[in-house]
Structures are given as C-alpha cells and as structure tokens.
Amino acid sequence: MRLSRYFLPVLKETPAEAQIVSHRLMLRAGMIKQSAAGIYSWLPLGFKVLRKIENIVHEEQMRAGHMPMLMPTIQSADLWRESGRYDAYGDEMLRIKDRGGRDMLFTPTAEELVTDIFRSHVNSYKDMPLTLYQIQWKFRDEVRPRFGVMRGREFYMKDGYNFDLTKEDALHAYNRHLVSYLRTYERMGLQAIPMRADSGPIGGDDTHEFLVLADTGESEVFYDSAVTDLSFGDRDIDYSDVAQCAGVMEEFTTKYARTDETHDEALFHAIPEERRRTARGIEVGQIFYFGTKYSEAMGATVQGPDGKPTPVHMGSHGIGVSRLLGAIIEASHDDNGIIWPEGVTPFHAGIVNLKQGDAEADAACEAIESAMEALGLEPLYDDRNERAGGKFATMDLIGLPWRITVGPRGLKNGVVELTSRRTGESEELPPEAAVAKLAEIYKGHMVKGL
Amino acid sequence: MRLSRYFLPVLKETPAEAQIVSHRLMLRAGMIKQSAAGIYSWLPLGFKVLRKIENIVHEEQMRAGHMPMLMPTIQSADLWRESGRYDAYGDEMLRIKDRGGRDMLFTPTAEELVTDIFRSHVNSYKDMPLTLYQIQWKFRDEVRPRFGVMRGREFYMKDGYNFDLTKEDALHAYNRHLVSYLRTYERMGLQAIPMRADSGPIGGDDTHEFLVLADTGESEVFYDSAVTDLSFGDRDIDYSDVAQCAGVMEEFTTKYARTDETHDEALFHAIPEERRRTARGIEVGQIFYFGTKYSEAMGATVQGPDGKPTPVHMGSHGIGVSRLLGAIIEASHDDNGIIWPEGVTPFHAGIVNLKQGDAEADAACEAIESAMEALGLEPLYDDRNERAGGKFATMDLIGLPWRITVGPRGLKNGVVELTSRRTGESEELPPEAAVAKLAEIYKGHMVKGL
C-alpha cells in the first residue's frame, strides 16, 4: 500500500476528550472516529487491525473444534421473556419497537437465541458435544461510555456457547475455551491472566475473566506474581484430550488471581508476601459454565442414552474483539505512539523513502515493496513528499513494528536500514537481506487479513 | 470437516412458509433459521458461504483501489436531519431512542455518516480521489419481509462511497464500480446485467441496477437479448485507466436493458423483434452518481486547485451481500437441491463413504481428505453410518459442485468416482487423480474463507 493513496487521517493534536492512551492513540493514528457517544467508525487502519484480530479469534476457535455461525443483531423480545432476562436486564439493553409495534432489542449477548436454535434442531445426545460461536456487533447502552473502544456502546464480540450432555462434558468445554483463549491472546502479543470472577447477569458458578495488566484497567486485581511467569507458548494441544485440557486449566488457575469481586483477603495473605501483587487489569474475555439455567427455562432437552429427556449443560464464552485493540495499545505503546505486536500489526513494515523523487531511492523502495508482497508480507510505503522527520513520526505513531529506511547515502553502500519500533535499534543491511529478515520474523505470525 | 461433527441440521420437510426455491433450500440445507420476521441466524453452512461472498466482494473492491472500513449500525439521527433524510426516509427506517432519550436509528445506508467522516478529515483536492466502502449489517423495516434472505429486514450489504473533485472524476469512479461489480458477480457464477434504473431515495440521475434473471425476481425487466452474450471474462483491467473503464461501461450499458421503472416502449421497440426480451430479475447491486447532493447539504467541501472551496462530487454503490446467496440459488439449483458455483461453494467437494466402518474404505476417505487439505481444498467428508442413498441426498441438497464416492468395490480396482453435481456425470479414477482434478478445477476459484 502506498501512503499517498491510503486514507490515514492522522491528527497532530491530542483530542481533548480522550482520557486514556489507547483512545488518544487510536484517534491520533486515524484508526477510529467517534460518530456518537460510545459509537465509532473504524477507519481503514483501525478496520485492518480489527479484521486481523477477528481472524485470529476465528482460527483459534475453529482449531478447538468450535463452529462459526452468525446471529442477527436485532432480536425479538419474546425469547428474552422466556428466560426472564427481558425484564431483568435493565437499562443497558437497547429496546426497540419495530413498525408493527413489536418489542425488539439490539442483542447484548445471545444465550436465548442460540438456545432456541439448539432446541429447534438437536434432539439426541448423539449430536453433542456442540459448541457454536459468532463474532458479531453487540450493543450495551452504557450510562457513561468512555475510553474509546474500551467501553463503547456498540462493540464487536466473540460469543460462544457449548451444549453438552453432562456437567463433566461441559467442564471439558470450559477448559477447551480456557486453552483456546490463552492461545488467542498470546498470538496477539498479550498476557491475559485467567482470574476467578463473578458471573453477573449471565448466571452460573464457574467463571474466569481474562485480564491484561495495565494501569488504566477498570478492575482492581490481586494475584500471586508467579502467574505472570506462566506462558502457553507453542505447545501442542489436542482439544479432544480431556486430561490435557484439564491440566492446562489447573496450571493456569491454581495460583491465586482474582478480581476485586471475588477477592479473598485470607487466601491472598497465604501467598508469600514478596509474591503478592495488587494491580489494575483490563478484562478482555470471560468464560462461564452455568449448567442447565437456560436449557431448563427454555426447554432445551435432548434424548439421553437412557432414552429420557435431559436438559443440556451449557456455558458461554466471550472475547471482547473491538476492546482488544484498546487493550493491546494500553499494553504496548510509548511516548511516540503505538507499538503493534507482530501478530496483529496492520502492515508488516513501513518503508520510508528519505528522498522522494530520487530515481535510485524510488526504485529501491519499489523493489522492496514488490519483494515483500511476493512473500505475502504487507508493506506500507510512505511515498509522500515529506521531510524524513514527518515520515518517521507517522510510522512511530501508527506503530508498525518494523521500518525500512531507504536513502541515497545508504544505497551508495548497497544498504538500507531496518529498525525495530520496539527497541529503536537499527541495522544496516542490503535490501534483499532486510526483506528476508522480515520474512523470518513474521514466520508463525501470518494472519489472514483483508 | 467431518459431517458427523458438523452442525448441519438439514430438514426433510419443505417448510410451509417458504414461497420461493432459494428460501426453501436454504432452510432445508440448514443454512439459515428465522429468528423473527425477516431476521435470520446464519447457521455454519450458510455463514461459510456468506463469508466467502463477503471476501470476494472485499477482494474486488480492494483490487479497484477502494478502501475498506466499517461504520456502526446504530447512528445518531442528527446527521440524518442535516441531509433532510431523517423525516424523508419513512417507516422503513428503524428508529430508536437510547436510554438518554436521544434519537438514534439502525443504519439503512450510510451517505450521511461517510460524508461526515470525509468533511472532518479531508480538506484538499490533493487527498482525492477517495473511495471508502464497508460491508456491514443494515436494517430496513419492511412491511412484508419475505423470500428469506432475499427480502429480509436485517441484511448484509456492501456500500461504497466515492469522493471526487469533478463530475468527470466521479463518473470514472462510477465506471470503476461497474467494472468491479461485473467481475464480482462473474466470480460468483452469476450473470448480473446492468440496467438503467431509478434512483429512489438516494437521489441523483445516473444509476444502474445489476439484475440476475430469474423467474422469482421482483422486478420486471426489458432487454435486448444481445446483452446476455456479454461477459467480462478474465480480461486485464487497469482501474486507473479512465478510457478503459469507460469502454467497459459503454460495452455493457449501450444495448437496451431497463427495469420497469425506466422502461421506454419506443426505445424497446427499436430493437429487432427477435431480440426483445421481457423477463423477471433479482436486483443484486446498484451504482449511483448523485453529484453534490450530500456534500452541499452537509458542507463537504475541499480546497480546489484554485484555492477555492468546492463541494465534492459523490456517488454510492451497493451490493446485497446476504441477498446474493438467495440470488445464486435461484439461478443455480435443481429438484434435488442447490448447485453452488465453484467460486462460492462452502466446501470444494463432498466425500461419500459407501461403507462406513470398512477399514479400507475409511482409510481411502481419510487419505483423500488429507490430500485435499494439503492442497488448500476443503472437503466435507460424510463419515456417518448412513445408507448411501441418504448420503447422496444430503450432498445433493447442500449442493457441493463435486462429490467423490468411495466404496469397497471401486477400491478393489483402485478407483473412486468423481461426480459433477451440475451434470450428474461421473468418472472413475484413482483417488490421487480425483484430487488432482479438483485442484485443477478450483484453480482461479480459491477464495479466502474462514
């Protein structure tokens, strides 16, 4: 992509309304634009990252054997009356009357609708286990939407629902989700710690939230510092292996890590003092097991092996997809701008031409651009007639993890400069070697984008 | 994918409420489920096709140099009051009050919001031409939603908006859209004929609708039969070449082809009688040039080369993404079910095991499955313990264009059967040759799916 043709409306001024760094940087980098309180348009750069994050979530859910589908944003109130949540949900639910005067709503979550799909189509235990999920826009009519996409009203969420015959099967589904979420966040360069949490309006006993530590987090969290040493890494996982998934669950949830909702001072003080930590965290996901709460209320039963109708055991599992952009930026930025982890960066490297219009420099930039594209890498080539300082500032602001700087002086020696956004370190090397190094860096970090 | 694990709730009975074949087949093939009048859930098979169609639209729009982004579904009424459309739009607009009592709406289209983005960020003619587009859920509160996804209330639409300094530039954008739409539909196996149309509530003079001929179409159309001989094919196109795009426009729109809204009997009768055709058509897209209608109403001006503020010339361009599934099925089915064109099929081939549990047949099916996957092809392997007749009926219903049938008898001779869904013709060949043939067939038809 050539920057001269890209719609990247970066802002020089820091928008006054933005209170936290991710909100400021997303506005300044031309990723989003507010259209109403808590409602945003995703400009091309923001949408590109959103789509990559969405695709990572899809890949990891499908890897776990979960089935992608899509439910509508506008739902009838009837199903929500069956579960009793239409009245219980409160003012955060956006309630709508259609032209026929029927009560509708903009889905804040989809337990009712997916349970209806299940009960309409599945009659036998033989068609289970089944986990359906979607990534779809949701709406929660917050009183005080704030922090940009971190606490918007319209937001993009992955919500998955497992249907199992027994509690044991459903707990395996719970563990499977925990494992797939650990993988998902790590691919995005995030450490998200599963913490015992409160179930809120979804209901149920077993639930963990995934929290990214950040000063701007809305939750106060308490944990044993040993949990931050855990990493899923690239270990092989067989999602049908009950013991293996349970093992990961145990490894990642045994040490103390709780939000203030479930915090227990006595247990916390059983941790050696030097490992006790209090911090703030951003919630980026949550998993629930709630048993037969919805299946009993809505008559979602299957014929069990004994021939008898059995209400199914369910859980639901969410990832805040649009919120993740904010969380990643909160966790990865500096004074100059965003620093994208390799797994989610909108472009793999920026190409900065120090002397636009110089035949040799232009040709070298175009050659690097083509060579990257031939390897499936996406460059953003700043081909504008701007000073080098302005070009560097834009690249730093939008946060591409790697930059190739091309100028007549280097080219005389046959080299360009490859710079890490994270460390600021540069090395000089021939253009082909710079491209080869990028290919090596991004091996294992390639995500289907747009 | 193994069918035993896939959520594919096919229906034996034809649902009574479905009046047209695409609606019936989408319900029977377990692609969609109605959740409220004109509002559907997309079950895994339906979602898989929807996502492929979405990706084809993205690929062709980006190829034309248009920029993907995303606008929210819920918008403030304020912008719509600026353009005057808040009152003009009528009952089809889903109007909402949020908890603060503010007037909101579910976007039926996005001229106002995209114009607001443009005027906020673009000040100079140097930042044009610019075409932004999105694929996003829309809502139109139809009085009588019907025909499944063909005329739903919540529907998935690509809407693109061009911003140009002059009318000439905007007409080039119009032509660029026409060309990209021709490519898009052809990749989906559809012949969609551009027809002169009426502009309706969008406004403007220049507009073409793209219609797929089908008996169940809602529009009456009149055309010169010579237009059905036109095909875009795989000709090379340079989207920045004004003359080339204008040439395609002329080639595809000079012959008479109009909907009943713009039909002109006198012109129609100037066509030789044997080429005059009256038929029905399904609208799958529309392009508009409407000049400065929105930019003047909303103050979207740029500084022109002469330094003076100039209202920009705009157009908007839509493709009915979810509706396309219905249109494709209307155009491509038989008594047994859907016949997917290669470009959009959810799976590239079905594998039918005639003797599940037979070690040799099972091994052969698994080998074919792996060999296909290694080539990037997606098989759907029917590994259920069902009679062959039932397996064939399911494959025919869901419409995969190719089927590989594996049985002990054939394997004794080292062969499997490769069958075309469209022609019903089969050929016997070794498993590796069947896979190689599929790879050949799908060359040029590979689309990023999920």
Peptide bond into A129 cis (omega under 30): yes
What are the two backbone dihedrals, phi and then psi, of residue B419, each rounded to the nearest 5 degrees? -120, 135
Enumerate residues 6+ apart whose C-beta is below 8 A from B127. B302
Residues A2 and A8: their CA atoms lie apart, in Å, by 11
CA distance to partner chain A, nearest, from residue B36 (Å): 6
Closest partner residue to B72 (CB to CB) among A40, A113, A116 is A40
CA distance to partner chain B, nearest, from residue A119 (Å): 11
Query: Using only C-alpha atoms, what is the Rg of chain A?
Result: 24
Contact A41 B117 (CB under 8 A): yes
Say whether residue B1 is in contact with chain A using an 8 A CB cutoff.
no
- CA angle (B440, B446, B449) in 5-degree steps: 145
Using a CB-CB distance cutoff of 8 angstroms, which residues of chain A are in contact with residue B149? none
SS3 B39: strand
Model confidence at B109: pLDDT above 70:
yes
Nearest C-alpha in B relative to A54? B450
Say whether residue B217 is in contact with chain A using an 8 A CB cutoff.
no
Say whether residue B9 is in contact with chain A using an 8 A CB cutoff.
yes
Say whether residue B226 is in contact with chain A using an 8 A CB cutoff.
no
Model confidence at B205: pLDDT above 80:
no
Closest partner residue to B42 (CB to CB) among A6, A69, A154 is A69
Per-position b or e across B106-116, b if 16+ CB within 10 A of its CB: bbbbbbbbbbb
SS3 A386: coil
CA distance to partner chain A, nearest, from residue B224 (Å): 38
Asked if A157 contacts A135 with a C-beta cutoff of 8 angstroms, the reply is yes
SS3 B8: coil
Using a CB-CB distance cutoff of 8 angstroms, which residues of chain B are in contact with residue A117? 33, 41, 43
**Locate tokens 């235990």: which residue?**
A125
SS3 A136: strand
Neighbours of A242 (CB within 10 A): 15
Contact B74 A42 (CB under 8 A): no
Contact B113 A41 (CB under 8 A): yes
Q: Would you mind telling me the total number of residues written for chain B in this entry?
A: 450
Residue B279 amino acid letter: A
What are the two backbone dihedrals, phi and then psi, of residue B11, each rounded to the nearest 5 degrees? -105, 135
**pLDDT of amino acid B242:** 98
Using a CB-CB distance cutoff of 8 angstroms, which residues of chain B are in contact with residue A94? 74, 96, 98-99
Asked if B340 contacts B399 with a C-beta cutoff of 8 angstroms, the reply is yes
> Hey, what domains does chain A have and what are their CATH numbers?
3-337 (3.30.930.10), 347-442 (3.40.50.800)
Model confidence at B130: pLDDT above 70:
yes
Size of interface A-B (CB pairs under 8 A): 159
Chosen from B10, B41, B135 to mutate, greatest number of chain A CBs within 10 A = B41
Closest partner residue to A113 (CB to CB) among B30, B41, B132 is B41
Peptide bond into A408 cis (omega under 30): no
The stretch B352-379 carries a mean pLDDT of 97
Two tokens, residue A420: 């890490």
Contact B74 A94 (CB under 8 A): yes
Closest partner residue to A44 (CB to CB) among B46, B67, B99 is B67
- Chain-centroid distance of CA B286 in Å reads 12
**pLDDT of amino acid A107:** 97
Using a CB-CB distance cutoff of 8 angstroms, which residues of chain B are in contact with residue A121? 7, 9, 30, 33
The stretch B156-179 carries a mean pLDDT of 97
Chosen from A1, A69, A103 to mutate, greatest number of chain B CBs within 10 A = A69
Say whether residue B44 is in contact with chain A using an 8 A CB cutoff.
yes
Chosen from B50, B82, B104 to mutate, greatest number of chain A CBs within 10 A = B104
What are the two backbone dihedrals, phi and then psi, of residue A226, each rounded to the nearest 5 degrees? -65, -20
**pLDDT of amino acid B47:** 98
Using a CB-CB distance cutoff of 8 angstroms, which residues of chain B are in contact with residue A139? 74
Chosen from A1, A2, A7 to mutate, greatest number of chain B CBs within 10 A = A7
Contact B30 A94 (CB under 8 A): no
CA distance to partner chain B, nearest, from residue A254 (Å): 32
Contact B70 A448 (CB under 8 A): no
Chosen from A59, A74, A142 to mutate, greatest number of chain B CBs within 10 A = A74
Using a CB-CB distance cutoff of 8 angstroms, which residues of chain B are in contact with residue A40? 72
Two tokens, residue B367: 């080998």
Note the maximum CA span of chain A.
81
The stretch B384-406 carries a mean pLDDT of 97
Two tokens, residue A53: 């994050």
**Nearest in space to B288 (alpha carbons), one of B318, B261, B259, B258:** B318
Per-position b or e across B344-362, b if 16+ CB within 10 A of its CB: bbbbbbbbbbbbbebeebe
**pLDDT of amino acid B201:** 60
Q: Confidence class of residue B200 from pLDDT cuts 50, 70 and 90?
A: low
Using a CB-CB distance cutoff of 8 angstroms, which residues of chain B are in contact with residue A44? 67-69, 132
Model confidence at B349: pLDDT above 80:
yes
Nearest C-alpha in A relative to B58? A450
Whole-number mean pLDDT of chain B?
95
Q: Given strand A74-76, what is the order of strands in its sheet?
A: A74-76, A103-106, A94-97
Nearest C-alpha in B relative to A110? B41
**pLDDT of amino acid A280:** 96
Using a CB-CB distance cutoff of 8 angstroms, which residues of chain B are in contact with residue A57? none
**pLDDT of amino acid A313:** 97
Tens-digit pLDDT profile for residues B238-276? 999 999 999 999 999 999 999 999 999 999 999 999 999
Using a CB-CB distance cutoff of 8 angstroms, which residues of chain B are in contact with residue A43? 69, 117
Contact B41 A99 (CB under 8 A): no
**Nearest in space to B207 (alpha carbons), one of B318, B323, B67:** B318
Two tokens, residue A215: 């000063």
pLDDT in tens, chain A (450 residues): 999 999 999 998 888 889 899 999 999 999 999 999 999 999 999 999 999 999 999 999 999 999 999 999 999 999 999 999 999 999 999 999 999 999 999 999 999 999 999 999 999 999 999 999 999 999 999 999 999 999 999 999 999 999 999 999 999 999 999 999 999 999 999 999 999 987 666 555 689 999 999 998 999 999 999 999 999 998 999 999 999 999 999 999 999 999 999 999 999 999 999 999 999 999 999 999 999 999 999 999 999 999 999 999 999 999 999 999 999 999 999 999 999 999 999 999 999 999 999 999 999 999 999 999 999 999 999 999 999 999 999 999 999 999 999 999 999 999 999 999 999 999 999 999 999 999 999 998 988 877
Two tokens, residue A393: 């500032």
Nearest C-alpha in A relative to B55? A450
Residues A41 and A9: their CA atoms lie apart, in Å, by 13
Nearest C-alpha in A relative to B113? A35
What CA–CA distances, in Å, run from A138 to A58, A155, B112? 17, 5, 22
DSSP state of B148: G
DSSP state of B1: -
**Nearest in space to A338 (alpha carbons), one of A349, A350, A326, A348:** A326
Say whether residue B61 is in contact with chain A using an 8 A CB cutoff.
no
Tens-digit pLDDT profile for residues B402-434? 999 999 999 999 999 999 999 999 999 999 999
Contact A73 B75 (CB under 8 A): no
Asked if A128 contacts A164 with a C-beta cutoff of 8 angstroms, the reply is yes
Q: Confidence class of residue B198 from pLDDT cuts 50, 70 and 90?
A: confident
**pLDDT of amino acid B448:** 80
DSSP state of A347: S
Tally of helices (H runs) and strands (E runs) in chain B: 14, 23
Say whether residue B67 is in contact with chain A using an 8 A CB cutoff.
yes
Residues A61 and A66: their CA atoms lie apart, in Å, by 5
